[in-house]
Amino acid sequence: MCGIVGYFGKRPAKDFLIEGLKRLEYRGYDSAGVAFLEKGAQRGSKASKRWKIKAIKALGKVAALQMKMEGVFVSGIGIAHTRWATHGKPSERNAHPHIDCKGLVAVVHNGIIENHRELKEVLEKRGHKFRSETDTEVIAHLLEEEMSPSGEKRKVGFEEAFVKTLKQLRGAYGIVAIATEDPEIMLAARFSSPLVLGIGSGEMFIASDVSALVGDVKRVVYLDDDEIAVIRRDGYVVKTLSSRKREKEELTLEWDKTVAEHSGYAHFMLKEIFDQPKSFADALRGRLILEEGMAQLGGLSAVEKRLRSINRIVIVSCGTSYHSGLVGEYMFEEYAGIPTEVEMASEFRYRKPLLDRKTAVIAISQSGETADTLAAIREAKEKGALVLGIVNVVGSTIARETDAGVYCHAGPEISVASTKAFTSQLAILSLLTLYLGRQRGLSLVMGKRIAKELEQIPKYMERVLAQAKDIKKLAKKYAKQAHYLYLGRKYNFPNALEGALKIKEIAYAPAQGYPTGEMKHGPIALIDSSVVTVMIMPKDSVYEKNVSGMEEILARGGKILAIATEGDTALAKKATDVIFIPKTLEMLSPLLAVIPLQLFAYYVAVERGYDIDKPRNLAKSVTVE
């Protein structure tokens, strides 16, 4: 997905622009570009130097752009972009920033301008010449048209022209623009596509994703829809489209630079898999009250009373966050006694969901920016439900738009394939189960057992991670399979889906996840001696059922890679291969069983030689529908 960065300050903008783009590389892109203001050559006899725009673009990686910029002096004001093609193929011509006919403005844009065709037609009639196939280019020409109408004298200033332009756009946008006419400001606007300002000392930053700012600033301000930011070297003002000033909350960015580096690991994904004992412990920190078998969740205190009266939960989320929601469903129903449903946010938003004040809708999202999840919570709010968030990125749109919520504190997750965010979400869902359960019928004894066991999980995770070498060998053995089947039941059914998703995402392997009991209704037709089925079968309440499923597969010549509880020698004898996980409570077993699935997918992708942190066609945070 596209990425935006901008810099206005005392240093040459180049340093941050290139570094910022590199920090956004994980989002996926096909071309990159920068534009900055530079003082033009002396003209005529007068020593007047005029500002002009200089743009440099490159197809492919940011490193290619960086090479093209070697030796180029860049002023202290510039914008940059990584493009993920939507309108027009990947090419230098289509790469942002886009510039108008007269070279007055340069614009970078994330999102889609839905009425770009109509706008382009009108602009072409007025004589504007388009150089790219993008929807974004209309913004540059509209700005030009407002600032310097064809055949007329310049009418309005940059800021006014910017507002007038925004009012003509339909669709989603995060826009940052600079103009030769007004080198003292940089302008930004948001509608449905995130932008965050970074406040430095005597310098200002802007980015579409907060991870681009990590290491450069400590204070950030998120823009909301229909807001514009007027950015100067030493500060900013946020306004509405009707030019009313908005007071904005400045948040502290707690992530530091080291967490955004892959420190000795071959890939971010591997680092993040190994981060899990720590990220899980961070999610629990200060929130477990062992002696009361309870959780204290400060983010929910404002809605505590209302939470006592809810009688239904609907979880909305996408991708891996959807899978953690499915585990949450089993937890809430079993231990908090609250009927729970989980919906893919992309479907939820187009249904006519029946919600009322006694329903709590919980959005789960690592990024806090997923467009479908955001649309789902807006729908839920409209219907009067209590809307909560389980979000990783502090200050993100979903975090801001929910009534209350709990942060995951997993630190930045850079790998497109989500790993540590999943286990941190499960940590929060477990805490929420205690919180809601103890408000209802969950006994002190059971509450204490869950709390005590949660504390042990990081240690157990280490034991699973210690088997990485063995898992690597198994991945090598099975790396060439044409397709993979994952089976699990009850709490580990969502893990079957997650295991299949991981191997699809990074190893591009056709894979399916199914509840073991459903196997006989279709997937069993896939079984023959060339297929390994990954079965998640810890010693839990559905263990025997899983064993029966395994027998059916073995009877048809299929191979079994089992994830089993330590000490289960009987199973080890039957399965083709086995990976052991420590014994824990059934509701917490997905936290351990998912780790071999993540590692297996990772090592299969390594064997197949793919770009693991930037898998093809995927984006880390899907901010368009």
Catalytic amino acids? 2, 620
Structure tokens that stand for 515 in this block: 């509840």
Structure tokens that stand for 405 in this block: 């919520």
- Which residues lie closer than 8 Å to 152 by C-beta, 6 or more apart? none
Residue with smaller CB distance to ligand G6P, 422 or 580: 422
Bridge partner list, 82: 3, 32
Structure tokens that stand for 115 in this block: 């009425």
Based on the shown chain and the rule CB under 6 A, indicate whether residue 320 belongs to the binding site for ligand G6P: yes
Residue 513: CB minimum distance to ligand G6P, A: 14
Residue 212: CB minimum distance to ligand G6P, A: 16
Using the contact rule CB under 6 A, the part of the chain among 59-67, 244-252, 253-261, 413-421 near ligand G6P is 413-421
Residue nearest to ligand G6P (CB): 319
Based on the shown chain and the rule CB under 6 A, indicate whether residue 367 belongs to the binding site for ligand G6P: yes
Using the contact rule CB under 6 A, the part of the chain among 120-128, 318-326, 525-533, 560-568 near ligand G6P is 318-326
Residue with smaller CB distance to ligand G6P, 220 or 585: 220
What's the first-to-final CA gap in the chain, in angstroms?
12
Structure tokens that stand for 613 in this block: 């942190």
User: Percentages helix, strand, coil for the chain, rounded to the nearest 5?
Assistant: 40, 25, 35
Selected binder of ligand G6P within 394, 416, 591, 612 (CB under 6 A): 416
Residue 225: CB minimum distance to ligand G6P, A: 18
Residue with smaller CB distance to ligand G6P, 79 or 374: 374
Structure tokens that stand for 164 in this block: 């007038």
Q: How many residues of this chain interact with ligand G6P, rule: CB under 6 A?
A: 16
Based on the shown chain and the rule CB under 6 A, indicate whether residue 321 belongs to the binding site for ligand G6P: yes
Pair 245, 238: CB distance under 8 Å: yes
Based on the shown chain and the rule CB under 6 A, indicate whether residue 318 belongs to the binding site for ligand G6P: yes
Selected binder of ligand G6P within 82, 279, 346, 373 (CB under 6 A): 373
Q: Whose CA is closest to 590, among 413, 456, 457, 468?
A: 457
Residue 396: CB minimum distance to ligand G6P, A: 9
Residue 598: CB minimum distance to ligand G6P, A: 12
Based on the shown chain and the rule CB under 6 A, indicate whether residue 370 belongs to the binding site for ligand G6P: yes
Using the contact rule CB under 6 A, the part of the chain among 214-222, 414-422, 440-448, 510-518 near ligand G6P is 414-422
Structure tokens that stand for 4 in this block: 């935006």
**What residues from 347 to 366 belong to the interface with ligand G6P (CB under 6 A)?**
365-366
Based on the shown chain and the rule CB under 6 A, indicate whether residue 112 belongs to the binding site for ligand G6P: no
In this structure, which amino acid lies at residue 221?
V
- Which residues lie closer than 8 Å to 554 by C-beta, 6 or more apart? 560, 574
In this structure, which amino acid lies at residue 60?
G
Selected binder of ligand G6P within 319, 325, 328, 389 (CB under 6 A): 319
Based on the shown chain and the rule CB under 6 A, indicate whether residue 598 belongs to the binding site for ligand G6P: no
**Residue 160: which H helix or E strand, with range?**
helix 158-166
Phi, psi values for residue 535, rounded to 5°:
-115, 125
In this structure, which amino acid lies at residue 412?
P
Residue with smaller CB distance to ligand G6P, 179 or 410: 410
Distance CA 108, CA 177 (A): 7
The answer, yes or no, to whether the previous bond of 97 is cis (omega within 30 of 0) is yes
Residue 187: CB minimum distance to ligand G6P, A: 28
Buried b or exposed e, range 274-312, using 16+ CB within 10 angstroms? bbbbebbbbbbeebbeeeebbbebebbeebeeebeebeb
Based on the shown chain and the rule CB under 6 A, indicate whether residue 397 belongs to the binding site for ligand G6P: no
Using the contact rule CB under 6 A, the part of the chain among 105-113, 154-162, 317-325, 458-466 near ligand G6P is 317-325
Residue with smaller CB distance to ligand G6P, 110 or 365: 365
Based on the shown chain and the rule CB under 6 A, indicate whether residue 423 belongs to the binding site for ligand G6P: no
Q: What is the DSSP letter of 521?
A: G
Residue with smaller CB distance to ligand G6P, 371 or 593: 371
Pair 581, 564: CB distance under 8 Å: yes
Selected binder of ligand G6P within 105, 454, 620, 623 (CB under 6 A): 620
Distance CA 50, CA 204 (A): 24
Interface residues toward ligand G6P, by CB under 6 A: 318-321, 365-367, 370, 373, 416-418, 618, 620-622
